Amino acid sequence: MSYNQPPPPAQPPTFIGPPVGQPGGKPGWARKRVAIPAACLIFFVGVGVGSSGNSGQEKASSSAKPQPTVTVTETAEAKPAKDDAKPAKDEKPAPVEDDEKTTVPNFVGMGLQSAQDKAQELGFHSLDSHDALGRDRMQAFDRNWKVCSQNVKADTSMSTDTDLDFGAVKLEETCPAKDEKAPSAEGGKMPDFTGRSVKAARGALDSGASITVNDASAEDRMVLMESNWQVCTQKPVAGAALNGRPVEFTAVKFEESCP
């Protein structure tokens, strides 16, 4: 049995060479090839790789769980402070010893240096001396002075911390019946300085007082060592109010007589 088969479909013509009228050309329906520069290709590839790498790191970091931090703090154990001020239970405070006492001897008539040496041998170390004549002289060389009086009576038992004060005059001088007290200008009135040393008079007045001293004799000498000069006259007169007034003295040496 024979069947009538349809003829095969017509095939498009095959062009072996360029069509007529277009030498070396290509058919209009042929696709065009686009050339992509190599630099652009490298850029796109790098971006893709970087993006994939970063996303991988982000996933890894996000997937990692945070670890807890443990902090250890060391605390020093407080120890009670010792109270050194409090004595132990069995410890007793040391008893306070009484001051050492010594009998004070009679120093009158002794040389000032010898009297001081004797006092130190007995344990007295607080020693002082003054001019028994009230002339306010310094005992620069103790061997040149002798003791006329003492502030603590002889044969008295006293602590060795007691201050001993000796009234003294020079070896060639006679001790007074009693110590001459230094003059004082208390109450703001002028004392009677007649016969007193110029140095003692100056010491009794205010340190800011204006004082003039002249030789009472006709020799017009300069008054240098004021403790060796005695006052003959004074202005203002004794008993007058000072009130900062200037003071004037005339004087002669102690071995001399006022004119």
Residues 156 and 195 placed together within one structural domain of the fold? no
Q: Indicate the Cα dihedral angle 233, 235, 237, 238, nearest 10°.
A: -80
Q: What percent of the chain has pLDDT over 70?
A: 62
Residue spans of beta strands (DSSP E) within the chain:
101-104, 127-131, 145-150, 156-159, 164-170, 211-215, 229-235, 247-253
Q: How many residues does the chain have?
A: 259
Mark which of 128, 145, 170 sits at the end of a domain.
Answer: 170
42: in domain? no
Residues 231 and 202 placed together within one structural domain of the fold? yes
Q: What is the pLDDT of residues 118-134, one digit of tens each?
A: 999 999 999 999 999 99
199: in domain? yes
Q: Which pLDDT score, from 0 to 100, does residue 14 have?
A: 52
Residues 190 and 159 placed together within one structural domain of the fold? no
190: in domain? yes
Does the model's pTM come out above 0.95? no
Q: What is the pLDDT of residues 65-78, one digit of tens each?
A: 555 555 555 555 55
Helix (H) or strand (E) holding 52: helix 38-63
Q: Indicate the Cα dihedral angle 13, 14, 20, 26, nearest 10°.
A: 120
Helix (H) or strand (E) holding 61: helix 38-63
201: in domain? yes
191: in domain? yes
Q: Which pLDDT score, from 0 to 100, does residue 18 have?
A: 52
The C-alpha atoms of residue 167 and residue 147 are separated, in whole angstroms, by: 6
153: in domain? yes
Mark which of 170, 201, 216 sits at the end of a domain.
Answer: 170
Read off the CATH number of the domain in which 124 is found. Answer: 3.30.10.20
Domains: count for the chain: 2
149: in domain? yes
Residues 158 and 190 placed together within one structural domain of the fold? no
> Which residue did the predictor score with more confidence, 78 or 185?
185
19: in domain? no
Domain encompassing residue 226: 186-253
Q: What is the pLDDT of residues 8-49, one digit of tens each?
A: 665 655 545 555 455 554 554 445 454 555 554 454 444 444
Read off the CATH number of the domain in which 230 is found. Answer: 3.30.10
